[in-house]
Amino acid sequence: MNEVRDVIIIGSGPAGLTAAIYAARANLRPLLIEGTEAGGQLMLTTMVENYPGFADGILGPELIGAMRSQAERFGTEFIQANVESVELSSPPYILRTADEEFRCRTLIIATGASARLLGLPSERHLMGHGVSTCATCDGFFFRGKPIAVVGGGDSAIEEALFLTRFASKVTVIHRRNALRASKIMQEKAFENPKIEFRWNAVVEEVKDVTRGRVTGLVLRDVLTGELSELEVDGLFVAIGHTPNTSLFAGQLKMDANGYLITHHGTLTNVPGVFACGDVQDPVYRQAITAAGSGCKAAIDAERYLEHVMVEGLARGSSIHPPPTTSSLS
């Protein structure tokens, strides 16, 4: 309980697990706190075909399982708990779960972002079986098939445009009669012959749970209340992402959408606190980019610790106020 760990990692998606592999191999004995949604968004996908090294693809949960075993093999300690509060005002940093308190010299935040969902039971049921939140990951499976995208922002339009490379037809379902997406994206979508729009419509149900795959959607016109059916083989939900950062409110700098702001790779505004993966990346959001930034975070933490140790020894103390971030750049 009183031990001050060199590195604690919060989050167990590709960013957190890669940070753990690198930190463990640097003999930093990382402790990784896995949340209740252990493994992150990859646990919601089926086949991952764009992660380098897997020529025939790999199932999302299998990829996470392999990363976890690799981190464990080098000595990462895992704890299943939700971090409920953090104190980042001065080192050692303090993390509290329901039952325990942890202290650390460096903290790597890899809490990810959660794709917003419509909240339908059928959507949850068919996630990874025709329902997806990532066109880059799953678009390929819908070659020559009709699909739908729900949402009216830049993500939805970007995904719809991307999906026209594979799908026979893409229907964008939007709850209003005007898109939120930037004008240039709108123009591209309106010009694309494969994209159709269903305005003022919401998805009431994804069919067909009994068959274990997507066969169509029940739509409701929000103005008239009228129900209709749309035959599709896939549904991409693109109504935004929520970065998992509420824990750090008031302590770490965030952008207007709640993403942690990092500079020089993974440095946050608090020295010794690093962020990697989707929690600081509203743009790329890929497993491979998350893993890459997890690697960077571990290297940044290692260098920071070396710096603190050298300065601490020079001044005769073991825990010392951290250097400014500029000294790490």
Instruction: Give the interface with ligand NAP as residue ranges (CB under 6 A).
Output: 118, 150-156, 158, 175-176, 180, 202, 239-241, 282
Residue 304, token pair as written in the block: 């920071």
Q: 298 in helix, strand or coil?
A: helix
Which residues, at least 6 apart from 20, have a Cβ–Cβ distance to it below 8 Å?
Answer: 9, 30, 32, 71, 76, 294, 298
DSSP letter (8 states) at residue 323: P
| 134 is a catalytic site residue | yes
To 5 degrees, how large is the angle CA 126–CA 148–CA 243? 70
121, amino acid identity: P
Nearer to ligand NAP, 33 or 173 (CB): 173
Any bridge partners for residue 218, and if so which? 205, 229
Catalytic pick among 6, 104, 134, 281: 134
In the bound complex, what is the minimum distance in angstroms from residue 185's beta carbon to ligand NAP? 7
Nearer to ligand NAP, 63 or 173 (CB): 173
Residue 141, token pair as written in the block: 């499976």
Exposure of 102 by Cβ count < 10 A (0-12 exposed, 13-18 middle, 19+ buried)?
A: buried
Distances (CA, A) of 288 to 58, 198, 243: 13, 34, 18
Nearer to ligand NAP, 103 or 175 (CB): 175
In the bound complex, what is the minimum distance in angstroms from residue 158's beta carbon to ligand NAP? 5
Question: Quick check: 321 and 327 in contact, CB under 8 A?
Answer: no
Q: How far apart are CA 211 and CA 215, in angstroms?
A: 9
Nearer to ligand NAP, 150 or 308 (CB): 150
In the bound complex, what is the minimum distance in angstroms from residue 229's beta carbon to ligand NAP? 18
Residue 122, token pair as written in the block: 């059928």
Which residue has the CB atom at the shortest distance from ligand NAP? Answer: 153
Catalytic pick among 6, 138, 233, 278: 138
Q: How far apart are CA 59 and CA 175, in angstroms?
A: 33
Handedness of CA 210, 215, 218, 219 (dihedral sign): positive
Nearer to ligand NAP, 95 or 156 (CB): 156
Nearer to ligand NAP, 240 or 323 (CB): 240
In the bound complex, what is the minimum distance in angstroms from residue 306's beta carbon to ligand NAP? 36
**Alpha helices of 3-153 — where are they, by DSSP H?**
14-25, 60-73, 121-125, 135-138
| 99 is a catalytic site residue | no
Residue 227, token pair as written in the block: 């129900």
In the bound complex, what is the minimum distance in angstroms from residue 225's beta carbon to ligand NAP? 16
Nearer to ligand NAP, 6 or 123 (CB): 123
Which residues, at least 6 apart from 1, have a Cβ–Cβ distance to it below 8 Å?
Answer: 100, 101
Catalytic pick among 6, 104, 137, 278: 137
In the bound complex, what is the minimum distance in angstroms from residue 178's beta carbon to ligand NAP? 8
- Active-site residues, by number, are 134, 137-138
